[in-house]
Amino acid sequence: MAADDTIAAIATPSGRGAIGVVRVSGPSVPAIAAGIVGSIPSPRTARLADFKDAAGAVLDRGLALYFPAPASYTGEDVLELQGHGGPVVLSLVLRRCVELGARVALPGEFTRRAFLNDKLDLAQAEAVADLIDAATAQAARSAVRSLSGALSERVAELQRGLTDVRVLFEASFDFPEEEVDVLSEAGAARQLDDLQLHFTRTVQAAQQGSLLRDGLTVALSGLPNVGKSSLINVLSGEEVAIVTPVPGTTRDLIRATIALEGIPVHLVDTAGWRRTDDPVERIGVERAQAAVAEADLIIHVSDPATDADMPPGTEAGVGKRIIHVHNKIDLIGVPARAESIAGVEHVWLSAKSGTGIELLKVAITRAAGVQVLGEGVFIARQRHIVALHTATRHVQEARARLASPELAAEELRLAQSALSELTGEHAADDLLGEIFSRFCIGK
């Protein structure tokens, strides 16, 4: 599926830098190389060269690298010009490439071509963007794992498992009644049970991977003056929020991101919840409720000295995972502790002295469902989890319909087609557009 046009882009970040790279891919690469550096460099060898304009004047001096198709990132002929990292000089080199027949690339277009030329599948292409965007070292390591095919291999294994069972069913159609033994119902049931287990494990791993990528949004809620802002400050190790003894200090939402066990945790401090005639504070309270409604987890803060039986959360938080923090233990002289009461986590701590903060961090990672993130974790997106869930549902349906092999076989076919969306075998154009448009230019 070779493209007939040639794309070019500045592949390094905008601004000044030690080096800057212009990358070109497509059939005009040999002509462009000849036009800029005089001749086509030997494949995969760095050559020091003058980059020249149409009149032969030197624009920059740097390294030229030529990767002939198909052994390149995109699978096409690729030229990389590594010059000095100034925005003006780089745009002059880019303009020269355009003059010689290239057009400026769209975001993610190099990776899109790599995908179309089977250099990587869709899950791997997404991992490229996730590696660039990784917010923690753990996320970066998992993205590399997905990039080298960890998720794709899991999917391939599931596909093989589904094919094996389908073969059983299909064989049973070909044999008349007297040979019912071909499809032993018990045998098929066992295989489907095994398969379901594999699906469940893969979904769990993908959920961990998507946690690493997207992180967890945690809203701090509670009455005024209980110490929500003090808590976001001590958790983030920065004075991000104003703390005063005046109830109603915080009005805007205040955000800080921290990493817990490699998971990006997006903390949101909110206005203390109370009825008020102050129009500014009222808006703050509305925003607080919206933040609570959007959060994955709520930390509900209370002050045991003044409000021992604080009712849980605002209405917006009903049904969400919640951790109750009993703050200001220094004032009532009780030790820091964490306890699960009727399945809900409670932590006693002091935001002012920092006692018990570690217990809260543990409670957050536990509530997030973070398991030990071993070497097997790969990065994953919501899209992958949805596809895996759909496929799992079809496998369950197949298991329930063993008595009618035609229907069961159809469910297995649907499971396979849900899985193939993950690696992009039959990906629709709008899905590709959506995925690649979020890439940076030059990638």
Ligand X SMILES: Nc1nc2c(ncn2[C@@H]2O[C@H](COP(=O)(O)OP(=O)(O)OP(=O)(O)O)[C@@H](O)[C@H]2O)c(=O)[nH]1
State the number of binding residues for Mg ion (CB under 5 A): 4
User: Residue 56 contacts by C-beta under 8 Å, 6 or more apart in sequence?
Assistant: none
- Give the x-and-dash track for 116-135 against ligand X (CB under 6 A): --------------------
Cβ neighbors of 434 (< 8 A, separation 6 or more) are none
Which residue is associated with the tokens 């493209």?
3
Q: Interaction with Mg ion in 224-243: which residues (CB under 5 A)?
A: 228-229
**Binding partner of residue 84 among ligand X, Mg ion, none, CB under 5 to 8 Å per kind?**
none
The residue within the footprint of ligand X, chosen from 163, 244, 306, 382 (CB under 6 A), is 244
Using rule CB under 6 A, residue 247 touches ligand X: yes
83 binds, among ligand X, Mg ion, none (CB under 5 to 8 A by kind): none
Alpha-carbon distance values, 417 to 10, 382, 402, 422 (Å): 38, 18, 20, 9
Cβ neighbours of 147 (radius 10 Å): 21
Residue 243 binds ligand X, judged by CB under 6 A = yes
Q: Kindly provide the b/e burial profile for residues 47-57, where b requires at least 16 CB atoms within 10 angstroms of the residue's own CB.
A: bebebbeeeee
Q: Does 292 bind ligand X (CB under 6 A)?
A: no
Q: Is the CB of 243 or the CB of 360 nearer to ligand X? A: 243
In this structure, what are the phi and psi dihedrals at residue 208, rounded to the nearest 5 degrees?
Answer: -60, -40
Considering the complex, what minimum distance in angstroms separates the CB of residue 228 from ligand X? 4
Taking the C-alpha atoms of residue 35 and residue 96, their distance in angstroms, rounded to an integer, is 9
Q: Whole-number minimum distance, CB 222 to ligand X, in Å? A: 6
Please choose, from the candidates 80, 84, 94, the residue with its C-alpha nearest in 3D space to the C-alpha of residue 60: 84
Question: Under DSSP, is residue 312 helix (H, G, I), strand (E, B) or coil?
Answer: coil
At residue 386, the 3 state secondary structure works out as helix
| Residue 240 Cβ vs ligand X, minimum distance, rounded to whole Å | 11
Long-range contacts, stretch 140-146, CB < 8 angstroms, 24+ apart: 141/377, 142/209, 142/212, 142/213, 142/373, 142/377, 142/378, 142/379, 143/213, 143/379, 145/377, 145/378, 145/379, 146/209, 146/378, 146/379, 146/380
Interacting residues with ligand X between 213 and 232 (CB under 6 A): 224-230
Closer residue to ligand X in complex, CB, 41/224: 224
Which range touches ligand X (CB under 6 A), out of 117-125, 127-135, 240-248, 311-319?
A: 240-248
Interface segment toward Mg ion; rule CB under 5 A; list 20-28, 247-255, 341-349, 351-359:
247-255
Smallest gap from Cβ 2 to ligand X, in A, equals: 60
Q: Which range, of 20-28, 103-111, 243-251, 404-412, touches ligand X by CB under 6 A?
A: 243-251
| Residues 78, 232: Cα–Cα separation, whole Å | 48
Instruction: Kindly identify the residues of this chain, within the stretch 317-376, that bind ligand X according to CB under 6 A.
Output: 327-328, 330-331, 350-352
Q: Using CB distances below 5 to 8 A depending on partner kind, what does residue 382 bind out of ligand X, Mg ion, none? A: none
Q: Please report whether residue 272 would count as binding ligand X according to CB under 6 A.
A: yes
Here the tokens at position 267 are: 């903390």
Task: Note the residues at the interface with Mg ion (CB under 5 A).
Answer: 228-229, 249-250
Task: Note the residues at the interface with ligand X (CB under 6 A).
Answer: 224-230, 243-245, 247-250, 271-272, 327-328, 330-331, 350-352
